[in-house]
Amino acid sequence: MNADVKDPGLAKAGWDRIAWADGEMPVLRTIRERFTCERPLAGTRIAACLHVTTETANLMRTLHDGGAQVALCASNPLSTQDDVAAALVSEWHLPVFARRGEDRDTYYRHINQTLDTNPNFTMDDGADLVSTIHNSRPELLREVRGGSEETTTGVIRLRSMAKAGVLKYPIV
């Protein structure tokens, strides 16, 4: 599997922390249980550029258990939890591209590796996936049906793109 994490040996510690966080996220756990049976996201490819934390790990697990093919890169290299990234690769076999403290070149290489999955949907924190698709990878636009953005900074970037008439798919 294609992935880039700091130390795969951290997976056990990451799994323990993900499991603990899962206990504090009952709504997401309930959705995951339902998704495991129903698999409503089967055939969907999701590229996510988010903080790689225990909370995000449980979201990725939920999407994966719902049938989606999920790829994740870090939206903020300083918030990346290396043990969590390792656990997502080791335990769930998800392509994760995240290293705490990665440099700018590595950051954008990871964004492109995540986009290499040819996503149908994007999940963004800062609109770097969306910007990269529009500026460097426009061939991906044929497959992308929509996306989400979670930050004010990203929303400002997306509104600017929409106002200029260059945003090519809907973002929530």
CA separation for the pair 172, 105 (Å, rounded)? 28
Q: pLDDT 10s digit of each residue in the chain, 172 long?
A: 699 999 999 999 999 999 999 999 999 999 999 999 999 999 999 999 999 999 999 999 999 999 999 999 999 999 999 999 999 999 999 999 999 999 999 999 999 999 999 999 999 999 999 999 999 999 999 999 999 999 999 999 999 999 999 999 999 9
CA separation for the pair 87, 172 (Å, rounded)? 29
Residue whose C-alpha is closest to residue 62's, from 94, 90, 99, 20: 94
CA separation for the pair 92, 20 (Å, rounded)? 17
Vertex 167: Cα angle to 172 and 154 (nearest 5)? 50
> Would you state the pLDDT for residue 58?
98
Model confidence, pTM: 0.96
Please tell me the chain's helix, strand, coil percentages from 3-state DSSP, rounded to the nearest 5.
50, 15, 35
